[in-house]
Amino acid sequence: MSETLLLTEYQEWIGDLLPEDRLFLNREFAKKITHRREMRAEVLRDVVNPNQYVGVLILPSGLRIELRPKIPTTNVFYMLAVAESLPFREELADYESLEEVLEFVVNYFATLAEERLTAGLYRSYCEAEDNLAFVRGRIDIAANIRENFALRHRTYCRYSELTWDVPENQVIRQVAHTLSGWQFRPRTRRRLAQLDTALAEVSPTRHTSDVVDRFTYSRLNDAYRAVHSLCRLFLVNSSVSESSGAFGFQSFLVDMNRLFEQFVTQVLFEATSGNGIWFASQRETHLDHANQVEMKPDFLLRGAGALIVGDCKYKRLDSGDFKNSDLYQMISYCTAEGSTRGVLVYPRHLVEADATVEVRRSPIRIEQLTLPLGGTLTDLKLASATLASLLIFGANRDNGQLAFSA
């Protein structure tokens, strides 16, 4: 087992890294993890800050860095399960450490992939072309003249072929192969390697998470939804895989900013479904009449009362204060949407208290709500339901101030 370096989100670590590790961090993670060299006590040291990222990554020397969240690891993965609509939310309560939770999720992926193999892989027609000894499909006249000027016994054809070497299966093999190189327990690694071998007739690929977003489902491949959601989970949070392809997978990093936004909007989506509340997330709007200044508030809620415009911010604020930029952004959102009620949602472990700002010479009121992410899974579920109920209640009121305590 390689050495493990423990870091905590938003906290600096000071120490010494090998040159190849230093270069790797600066090349692959410069936009995520802050690294610099500083003189400390007259000695040049490495300073690393993971910022809002949590997870694990392996450096070229074999050094394993674990980036720990300030909230329970189980809660982070519960938020991931909610945000990605994954079905294993309740089982997470049995785990505590990052290694245990991550390995549980990997084994869940392996189970779903094995089920697809047992049931039979999805096949689809794909366009193919080849220089054949017989005519198949249609002849490509231009290619045939070019390729077979002196080969009269061959014919260049284009045809449709029913195959399981399609992106729906390729992405499963890609994730199984890359995960098999991780430092999981031997049983888990063997299981992933067996999956990779069983899918050997599926081409190795360099897909990114976007491929999953482009899938369309029918009765023939609808059973793939869950395993594809997990493929997307690993590809989205694997920094190196997105730049280097399938065989460069060396990290699993969760952007807590993005996760917090996705989690809150998914909680609200589930809470508002079927109860008469109109809900939209990331709906594009514009500040100006010429549509030159684009804006995307995280969520909009409209019930029988006023429209609520909301944004989620995973950042630290000084006690009792707003970040001015957040306020200005929310005033712009409310003005463009014709709303008098804006809501900024922060995690409670980074912001100490709820607050309200009433804008001068304007009917706009901006309310700061904090969602506690710590405690047990039960605490997080209760706090999330309370936040959703509060906002739904507010959307059904003509006026009045929201009040949240959990």
Give yes or no for residue 322 having a pLDDT over 70: no
For tokens 């005519």, name the residue.
Answer: 135
Residue type, 286: H
Q: Measure the CA–CA gap between 52 and 48, rounded to whole angstroms.
A: 12
When the pLDDT of each residue in the chain is averaged and rounded to a whole number, the result is: 85
Whether the CA torsion 316, 321, 324, 326 is positive or negative: it is positive
The 10 Å Cβ neighbour count of residue 114 is 16
Helix 225-236 and helix 167-179, axial crossing angle in degrees, nearest 10: 50
* pLDDT tens figures, 123-150: 887 777 888 888 887 888 888 888 888 7
Domains of the chain: 1-68 (no CATH), 71-123+165-249 (no CATH), 124-163 (no CATH), 257-395 (3.40.1350.10)
Instruction: With cut-offs at 50, 70 and 90, classify the pLDDT of residue 395.
Output: confident
Give yes or no for residue 275 having a pLDDT over 50: yes
* pLDDT tens figures, 281-319: 988 888 988 889 999 999 999 887 778 999 999 877 665
Give yes or no for residue 2 having a pLDDT over 80: no
Which helix H or strand E contains 361, and what residues bound it?
A: none
Using a cut of 0.75, tell me whether the model's pTM lies above it. Answer: yes
Burial status of residue 328 (CB atoms within 10 A of its CB: 0-12, 13-18, 19 or more): exposed
The 10 Å Cβ neighbour count of residue 368 is 25
